[in-house]
Amino acid sequence: MFEPFHYEFFVNGIVAAGLAGALTGLVGVYIVLRKMAYIGHGLSHAIFGGAVVSFVMSINFFVGASVWGVFSALLITVTARKRTIGADAAIGIVTTASFALGIAIISKYKTFTRSFDAALFGNVLGVSDGDVLALALVLSVTVCTIFVGYKLFLFTAFDSEVGRLYGVPTGWVDIMFSLILAATIVVSMQVLGVTLIAANVVIPPIIARMITNSFKRMLLLSTIVGSSCGIVGIYLSYYIDVSSGATIVLVGSTLFVLALMYNIIQARRHRIWSHFRKKPAITRIPFSSGKL
């Protein structure tokens, strides 16, 4: 049971997974409520291209991926705000092209394939102290930002158009969040895998939303759910020898199904109970009386 904890890499991996899960869960609340899930998907794919290119050009991974991530995040947010026809198509093309570029480079130089398996699908092995540190740093900055700008985030997520009429700088809030999302993707790529990060951004908030009606509690719950999925998932990944990104998403999906069943049972029990309660008398007005 505790055997894997003797390995340092595993301790690193499990801490990283817990942090990455918490981070994606927290950021995901805004992304999901603001209906920006597609940005998570696009951005993660775009950043993968940047990561591979920076690897080929032997630039530090974090630096290369971050620069590319910030650039794509700004581009996507500004384009998405225009809401002209073709904006989302343009985002789709640019981000998948970036992803394809990364894949093309990897398959050209076969020697990379192994080291990029982790970036694509996530891997417990090879999580360094630096990765854990970067995750901890981004998580603390994110928590502080959300704490300080709490009211601005709440209003923008609830109704950005009216928020703007109330003076909320909704454009800046959106840009801030896509930058946070970009940073999240860059630092959790190693554990969650680019192809599966988007799922980790979406699943914990949805589970949290099914359990609570409060924004504050949703932030907290989603963070906890994300973190737990990360920890349980990576543990499983070690035992069944499957990429960690996949096991984490599968654990999240299982939790989602459980939450769904809980909701259905709750609703049904409610109905059964109300069935036994005394029914109010219904005043019937006969149709045939002709006059009232």
Partner 1 sequence: MLHPLPHSPSYIDPVVSIESLTGGYNGELVLESVDLTISHGDFVGLVGPSGSGKTSLLKAILGTLDVYDGRVLVNGVDASVRRPRVGYVPQLETIDWNFPVTVEEVVMMGCTMNSPLFPWVTGLQRKSAARMMEHLGISALAKRHISDLSGGQQQRIFLARALVGNQAIVLLDEPTSGVDIKTRDDIMHLLHELNHQGITVIMTTHEINSVAAHLPRVVCLNGRIIADGPPSKVLTTEILTETYGGPMPVIHHNGMAIVVERPHRFGYHARKGEDQDSAGLEHQDIV
In the complex with partner 1, which residue's Cβ is closer, 63 or 162?
A: 162
Whose Cβ is closer to partner 1: residue 157's or residue 185's?
Answer: 157
Name the residue among 127, 130, 121 with its Cα closest to residue 249. Answer: 121
Q: Which of 37, 13, 30 is nearest to 198 (CA)?
A: 37
Site mask, partner 1, residues 198-227, x = CB under 8 A?
Answer: -----------x--xxxx--x---------
Least distance between partner 1 and beta carbon 125 (Å): 38
Q: Which of 42, 40, 13, 8 is nearest to 230 (CA)?
A: 13
In the complex, the smallest distance separating the C-beta of residue 157 from partner 1, rounded to whole angstroms, is 7
Min dist. Cβ of residue 146 to partner 1 (A): 9
Q: Which two tokens stand for residue 292?
A: 């009232």
Q: Which helix (H) or strand (E) holds 181?
A: helix 170-192
Q: How far is the CB of 149 from partner 1 (least distance, A)?
A: 6
Provide CB contacts within 8 A for 185, sequence distance 6+.
40, 43, 44, 47, 69, 194, 197
How many of the chain's residues bind partner 1 (CB under 8 A)? 26
Nearest to 222 by CA among 146, 121, 119, 133: 146
Binding residues for partner 1 restricted to 8-67, rule: CB under 8 A: 33
The contact pattern for partner 1, residues 142-171, with x = CB under 8 A and - = no contact, is: -----xxxxxx-xx-xxx-xxxxxxxx---
Q: Which is nearer to partner 1, 30 or 68 (CB)?
A: 30
Shortest Å distance, C-beta 137 to partner 1: 21
Residue 262 near partner 1 by CB under 8 A: no
Give the integer Cα–Cα distance in Å for 71 and 109: 26
Which region holds residue 281: left if phi is over 0, alpha if psi is between -120 and 50, else beta?
Answer: beta
Which residue, 100 or 148, is less far from partner 1 as judged by CB? 148
Min. distance of Cβ 164 from partner 1 in angstroms?
A: 6
> Distance of CA 96 to CAs 46, 50, 102, 119, 289, Å?
7, 12, 10, 16, 71
Q: Give contact residues for partner 1 (rule: CB under 8 A).
A: 33, 147-152, 154-155, 157-159, 161-168, 209, 212-215, 218
